[in-house]
Amino acid sequence: MEAIKAPRGTRDVLGDESWKWAYVLKVCGEVARDFGYSEVLLPIFEHTELFSRGIGDATDVVEKEMYTFIDRGDRSITLRPELTASMVRSYLEHDMNRGPQPVKLWSSGPMFRYERPQKGRYRQFQQVDFEILGAANPLADLETIDTSMELYRRLGLTNLQVLINSVGCPKCRPIYREALKNFIADRLGEFCETCQSRFDRNPLRVLDCKKQGCRDLTESAPAMVDSLCDECRGHFDAVTSGLSRIGANDARVDNRLVRGLDYYTKTAYEILAGELGSQNAVCGGGRYDNLAEAIGGPHVPGVGFASGIERIVITMEGQGAHMGAAPAIDIYAVTASPGACTEVAALVHEIRAAGMSADMDYMNRAMRVQMKHASSTGARFVCIIGEDEIAAGTVGIKDMASGEQESSPRSGVVARLAEWKEVSK
């Protein structure tokens, strides 16, 4: 029988990488705390309608990428492809709109999209997501961009490119949409098949087609920012003029930036990292003032962003950013003669109770093999107990970094190890 493998587009994050994720998430939590976001833990599946109404029926995510199934109660359920719709659903469901505004929330966890897997693009991936709900002011847009940049700054990422655009609102976007369609219509036959199929349903997406031929054809297309209504124009100017205040001096207005989710209004932004190759967005975000209404709630302005943890880790690795050290055991206790294993287990228990990490051999292996295992765990110290040590009431201690050895009375060994650990920090 063939061994079962993980499904295409998913991956096991093993011990040599999972600690990096823990580090990134720890920093996310610190940034959230410092910026005043409170964490919400949301369901991994939701009613399909939340996404079809929230994200939009004509998007690739809803049309082609959702993991949707009928559950045993005959409900259509979807594994969440993103967090924003769930965040807004939760905000409304718990009447957060009736309390003080704005409400700043963050969350993280796995998302699911049936995409073509490649470097930095998976079918199950993890996002960290920050949202500000209830604030229409451009200051809130800047606050979310600032949050993301501070997160990347603390993670040690450099050379990131912030791209920003406005996708207008239901008042000005239809006018732009028509202008763009007129522009495309003349040479529609020369565009790629995907662009041709998007022409009627979602013509703005033609602008972010990655194919060079299509890009050449839209080189001189009208720009959304030139068609904005007064309100959207004022909002965009306020956001772009505030960028230098938050250190995003080299942010660039990108007329092609339209984003793949239909809920966006006004501000849309992405942050790119060269290390990622073709899937180069480490962050995507923007404003979505009509999302709450689209899912059956009152009008609630909102703005936020999400960032992919896999892409953050790839970028950090590529840039050699500091991630702390892989977790290592403080102490490995070696059994020097088979009869000493109970004493070794008792010592390990005491060491852990004193707040240090410790491990031992459970397989009666030769001392040489245990020493090898000890160094593969990265243990800082090795304790050795055999019949001689038991008879003398001592424990041998080896400092794995310096190679120094000493013999310590059994009764004081835990305190001695704690002292060594403190000094060697």
Interface with ligand HAM (CB under 6 A): 82-84, 113, 115, 120-122, 125, 127, 129, 131, 260-261, 281-286, 288, 304-308, 310-311
Return the number of the residue (168 or 386) whose C-beta is nearest ligand HAM: 168
Q: Compute the least distance from the CB of residue 164 to ligand HAM, in Å.
A: 13
Return the number of the residue (84 or 394) whose C-beta is nearest ligand HAM: 84
Q: Compute the least distance from the CB of residue 307 to ligand HAM, in Å.
A: 5
How far CA 321 is from CA of 23, 108, 116, in Å, comes to: 12, 22, 28
Return the number of the residue (128 or 224) whose C-beta is nearest ligand HAM: 128
How far CA 350 is from CA of 70, 344, 413, 414, in Å, comes to: 52, 10, 10, 7
Paired with 394 in beta bridges are 409
Q: Compute the least distance from the CB of residue 294 to ligand HAM, in Å.
A: 14
Return the number of the residue (267 or 408) whose C-beta is nearest ligand HAM: 267
Q: Compute the least distance from the CB of residue 207 to ligand HAM, in Å.
A: 15
Q: Which amino acid is at 273?
A: A
Q: Which of 264, 383, 318 is nearest to 120 (CA)?
A: 318
Return the number of the residue (131 or 330) whose C-beta is nearest ligand HAM: 131
SS (H, E, C) the chain: CCCCCCCCCCCCCCHHHHHHHHHHHHHHHHHHHHHCCEECCCCCEEEHHHHHHHCCCCCHHHHHHCEEEECCCCCEEEECCCCHHHHHHHHHHCCHHHCCCCEEEEEEEEEECCCCCECCECCEEEEEEEEEECCCCHHHHHHHHHHHHHHHHHCCCCCEEEEEEECCCCCCHHHHHHHHHHHHHCCHHHCCHHHHHHHHHCHHHHHHCCCHHHHHHCCCCCCHHHCCCHHHHHHHHHHHHHCHHHCCCCCEECCCCCCCCCCCEEEEEEEEEHHHCCCCEEEEEEECCCHHHHCCCCCCCEEEEEEEHHHHHHHHHHHCCCCCCCCCCCEEEEECCHHHHHHHHHHHHHHHHCCCCEEECCCCCCHHHHHHHHHHCCCCEEEEECHHHHHHCEEEEEECCCCCEEEEEHHHHHHHHHHHHHHCC
Q: Compute the least distance from the CB of residue 293 to ligand HAM, in Å.
A: 16
Return the number of the residue (272 or 340) whose C-beta is nearest ligand HAM: 272
Return the number of the residue (265 or 408) whose C-beta is nearest ligand HAM: 265
Return the number of the residue (307 or 335) whose C-beta is nearest ligand HAM: 307
Q: Compute the least distance from the CB of residue 277 to ligand HAM, in Å.
A: 12
User: Residue number with the shortest CB distance to ligand HAM?
Assistant: 284
Give the burial string for 183-206 (b: 16+ CB within 10 Å, else e). Answer: bbeeeeeebeeebeebbeebbbbb
Return the number of the residue (205 or 311) whose C-beta is nearest ligand HAM: 311
Q: Compute the least distance from the CB of residue 313 to ligand HAM, in Å.
A: 11
Residue position matching structure tokens 């990131």: 160
Return the number of the residue (141 or 343) whose C-beta is nearest ligand HAM: 141
Q: Compute the least distance from the CB of residue 311 to ligand HAM, in Å.
A: 4
Q: Compute the least distance from the CB of residue 304 to ligand HAM, in Å.
A: 3
Return the number of the residue (88 or 358) whose C-beta is nearest ligand HAM: 88
Four-residue CA torsion sign, 33, 142, 287, 164:
negative
Q: Compute the least distance from the CB of residue 260 to ligand HAM, in Å.
A: 6
Q: Compute the least distance from the CB of residue 135 to ligand HAM, in Å.
A: 13
